[in-house]
Structure 1
C-alpha cells in the first residue's frame, strides 16, 4: 500500500480525515447556534395568545433577541443579577410599558403588541441604562 506523505510527514489520508472532522464540527456548531436563536421567541399558544420571550436582566445588560417579527408578546423579565432591575419598552405604539421592580432571582411579565419599527428596551432603575442595560430591538 502506498501512502503519500507531505514535507511535514503528514499523510494525505490523515489530512483528509482532519478536513472531514473539521467540516462536521463546523456544521454542528452552526446548527446549535441556529437552534438557540430559533427558541428565543416561542410560538404562540393555541387560541392566539401572546408569544413568550425571555429577557434575562443581568448586572448590567439585557439578554434577549434583538429582532422579532411583529406580534403580541409577553416579555418574561427574569432578574439573573444581584441588584434590583425592571424592564421598560418604548417604540411605535408602545410608550412607557414597564414591569415593576424585580428583586434578584425574581421575575415579572410585560405583555405588549409590537408593530414594525425599532423599540428601545432598558432598565429604568437608577443609572442601569447608562451602565449598559439597554437594547434596541428591530421588529419586522
Structure 2
C-alpha cells in the first residue's frame, strides 16, 4: 500500500508488534474453536462398550431420553448386556430386532430407573427402539450396525 503525505511517499506497513498481536489473537481464536469442537464431539459421542459383565457379556449403556436412544451405533459381534437407563420424564423400554434376535425387550422403565437386557449380536443391522406408545415415531429409534 502506497500513501502520499505532504508530497512524501510513505509506505503503509503494520509494525512488527501489531503483527504479533494480530497473530496471537488469531491463534487464540483458533485454539478456542478447536477446544469447543473437540469438547462438543466428546460430549456427544456415545459410550463404547465397557468391560465384561457377569457371563462374559460387555456392558453397553443406553440412555433413554424423551425421545432419543443414546448409545453406540456400531458394535463388534458378541454378547452384550444393554443397561437401559431412563433419563427422560416419560416411561420407556428398549426393544431389539435383528439377525438372531427376535424382538428382545425390556420391561417398561420409569423415570430415573434402569433395567438390563442381554443378547448375542452377530454381523448385521439391528433395529433398537422404544415400544412404548408412539415413542418410536417420535424419534426413539436407532439402527445399530454390528460387524
Q: Could you state the TM-score of these two structures normalised by the residue count of structure 2?
A: 0.76
Task: Indicate conservation of the 8 Å contact 1:90/1:97, yes or no.
Answer: yes
2:68 to 61, 80, 98: 61
2:49 to 36, 42, 45: 42
Please state whether the residue corresponding to 1:136 is helix, strand or coil.
Answer: strand
Specify the alignment match of 1:70 in structure 2: 77
Q: Does 1:17 align with 2:24?
A: yes
Unpaired segments of 5 or more residues in structure 2?
Answer: 1-12
Specify the alignment match of 1:94 in structure 2: 101
Alpha-carbon distance in structure 2 between the residues aligned to 1:64 and 1:43: 12
Please state whether the residue corresponding to 2:32 is helix, strand or coil.
Answer: helix
Task: Indicate conservation of the 8 Å contact 1:41/1:51, yes or no.
Answer: no
Structure holding more strand per residue: 2
Alpha-carbon distance in structure 2 between the residues aligned to 1:35 and 1:48: 30
Aligned residues: 133
Specify the alignment match of 1:107 in structure 2: 114
Tell me which structure has the larger Cα radius of gyration: 2
Please state whether the residue corresponding to 1:41 is helix, strand or coil.
Answer: coil
Specify the alignment match of 2:143 in structure 1: 136
Alpha-carbon distance in structure 2 between the residues aligned to 1:107 and 1:64: 14
Specify the alignment match of 2:14 in structure 1: 4
Q: Could you state the TM-score of these two structures normalised by the residue count of structure 1?
A: 0.79
> Structure 1 residue 135: deviation in Å?
0.9
